[in-house]
């Protein structure tokens, strides 16, 4: 356990900030202008402040990883496009989410959709009602996707096993 804020910060900087920088050095270009927050449709109705998130990351505060804010972004990429420094805030948020999931910070609802993906190969799998609609439209009852090919689902399981996805999101 860290014994001081200083230590907590430096530990965080080594882990989170280093990983973020290794993926996108652009993060360091952020000058805290706030164009991201001003552009954010989610932040207009929630506590999400992308500028503040960027600031916290740059200062090495690791509490961003288990904050709800991280999951309020719809990844609309408006801040990404408008950032005058090309600091790529949406990519930073997605990278932070990857780290959060690896550290076990994941919402139950997201674990549920991840399980659906692992079990069926679709985030939104077929149901009986839609099977009937498909038939009425002259389409095959099951689409020609992984739903129709059990061996394809096996392939997917192989990939998810190799990347550790099911374990990570379980």
Partner 1 sequence: MTSYSLFLGCIVPNRYPGIESATKMVFNKLGVNLKDMLGASCCPAPGVVGSFSEQTWLTVAARNLAIAEENRADVVTLCNGCFGTLFEANNTLKNEEETRKTVNALLSKTGRIYRGNVEVHHFAKLIYEGHLDQVKRLSQSLTGLKIAVHYGCHLLRPGTLKKIDNPEKPVFVDELVRNLGAESVDYKDKHMCCGAGGGVRSSNLELALDMTKEKLENVKASQADCILNVCAFCHLQFDRGQRELAEKKGLEYNIPVVHLTQLLGLAFGLNPRLLGLQAHAISTQPFLRKITKVSVQ
Q: Which is nearer to partner 1, 2 or 170 (CB)?
A: 170
Q: Does residue 50 touch partner 1 according to CB under 8 A? A: no
Per-residue binding letters, 7-26, with partner 1 (x by CB under 8 A): --------------------
Using the rule CB under 8 A, which residue among 28, 74, 115, 170 binds partner 1? Answer: 74
Q: Which is nearer to partner 1, 10 or 67 (CB)?
A: 67
Closest CA to 86 of 38, 27, 34, 23: 27
CB 62 within 8 A of CB 8: yes
Distance CA 44, CA 63 (A): 22
Using the rule CB under 8 A, which residue among 81, 115, 119, 170 binds partner 1? Answer: 81
CA angle 91, 42, 69 (to 5 degrees): 65
Using the rule CB under 8 A, which residue among 80, 87, 89, 92 binds partner 1? Answer: 80
Q: Does residue 125 touch partner 1 according to CB under 8 A? A: yes
Is the Cα torsion angle 17, 85, 54, 58 positive or negative in sign?
positive
Distance CA 64, CA 52 (A): 10
| Dihedral (Cα; 92, 98, 104, 105), 10-degree rounding | 40
Interacting residues with partner 1 (CB under 8 A): 41-42, 45-46, 71-78, 80-81, 90, 94-95, 97-98, 101, 106-107, 109-110, 112-114, 117, 121-127, 130, 133-134, 137-139, 143-149, 151-152, 155-156, 158-160, 162-165, 168-169
């Amino acid at each position: 356990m860290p014994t001081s804020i200083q230590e907590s910060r430096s530990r965080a900087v080594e882990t989170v900030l280093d990983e973020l920088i290794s993926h996108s050095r652009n993060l360091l270009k952020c000058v805290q202008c706030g164009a991201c927050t001003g552009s954010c449709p989610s932040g207009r109705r929630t506590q999400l402040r992308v500028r503040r998130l960027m600031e916290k990351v740059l200062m090495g505060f690791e509490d961003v990883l288990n904050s709800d804010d991280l999951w309020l972004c719809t990844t609309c990429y408006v801040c990404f496009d408008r950032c005058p420094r090309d600091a790529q805030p949406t990519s930073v948020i997605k990278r932070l989410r990857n780290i959060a999931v690896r550290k076990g910070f994941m919402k139950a609802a997201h674990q549920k959709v991840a399980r659906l993906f692992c079990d069926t190969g679709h985030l939104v799998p077929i149901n009986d009602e839609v099977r009937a609609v498909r038939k009425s439209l002259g389409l095959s009852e099951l689409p020609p996707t992984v739903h129709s090919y059990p061996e394809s689902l096996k392939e997917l399981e192989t990939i998810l096993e190799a990347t550790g996805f099911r374990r990570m999101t379980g």
